[in-house]
Chain A
Amino acid sequence: MLAELSMHIMDIVQNSISAGASFVRVKIEQREATDTLTIEVEDNGKGMTEEEIKKVQDPFYTTKSYKKVGLGIPLFKQTAEHCDGSFEILSTPGKGTLIRATFKSSHIDLPPMGNLKDTILTLIVGKPEVDFLFEIYKDGVSFILDTREVKKELQDVPINHPEVIKFLEEYIDTNLKAMEVVS
């Protein structure tokens, strides 16, 4: 249903935002030596109980009153497990949630990363009030983007100002291309 890993990331982060998070950390780590790709999304949202953790992995469960099913987490889990990987949710009510999915990088069914640049940019611009930390590691090379640092430089200028968007797009694109994290 979601054609790209970067769409899964966007979807899982949306859950964090719905859970009231003011800070979201996204970590993507690719290691050739172990043939693994790990994606983590951690937030300081309202967290979940053990029972809720079980329920959100069930495709027929949702917290939304107007729909019958919640597919985001079950789809992500299914993709990880199908790609000889693993999936876990660690959460503490009142503190936040960490979702970690690991995939076998060389698995033939692993979806492409897709447009990670647009995922990062649309998250930052679409939720300017949330602080994001993106950490991307690929065999010893890294790209870290902390929007708290961006906001510090900008002071009173909003992070979704057109000139800032233009800068961020180029900045993210240049760094991702340098790491060869492309679709």
Chain B
Amino acid sequence: MKLEDLRKIREKAEKELKLREGKARVKIVVGMGTSGIAAGAREVLKAFIDEIEKRNLQDVIVTQSGEKGLSSHEPIAEVWEEGKPVVVYGNLTPDIARRIVAEHIVNGNPVTEYVIEVKEA
């Protein structure tokens, strides 16, 4: 396995990107401060990444930020969708992260029992 193998991926992906032409539809931001990491934020971030990779969701990006100031609810993630309020999830686990991808990102139904805040984008 070599980095040169990325060329094949690039050629395939470039064709798909040309067809799509759009920017990301959804952005998931996971809080990664010290307390977030201690509470399992890395595993949550990895679960989001795994699910997006598995479902090949090319219009969804997962990113990270510093602490969000909601330490008692960590791990925390925000879901940003164009034209919609930002949904903040708390007390996450890898399993809940996978549910959020399936139910919220793919099917448009937020996983309400883990929503801790809804705010304007």
Contacts and interface: CB of A to CB of B under 8 A. Distances in A.
Identify whether the interface residues of A are mostly helix, strand, loop, or mixed.
helix
Identify whether the interface residues of B are mostly helix, strand, loop, or mixed.
helix
A153 B6 contact: yes
30 contacts: A7-B37, A7-B38, A14-B32, A14-B34, A14-B37, A14-B66, A66-B69, A67-B67, A67-B71, A70-B34, A71-B34, A75-B34, A118-B42, A122-B64, A125-B49, A125-B62, A149-B3, A150-B3, A153-B3, A157-B10, A160-B61, A161-B13, A162-B56, A163-B12, A163-B56, A164-B9, A165-B52, A167-B6, A171-B1, A174-B1
B5 interface: yes
A10 B44 CA distance: 14
Nearest to B60: A162
Contact of A126 (B3, B38, B62): B62
**Which of B3, B4, B9, B37: most chain A CB closer than 10 A?**
B37
Contact of A2 (B34, B63, B64): B34
Contacts of B110: none
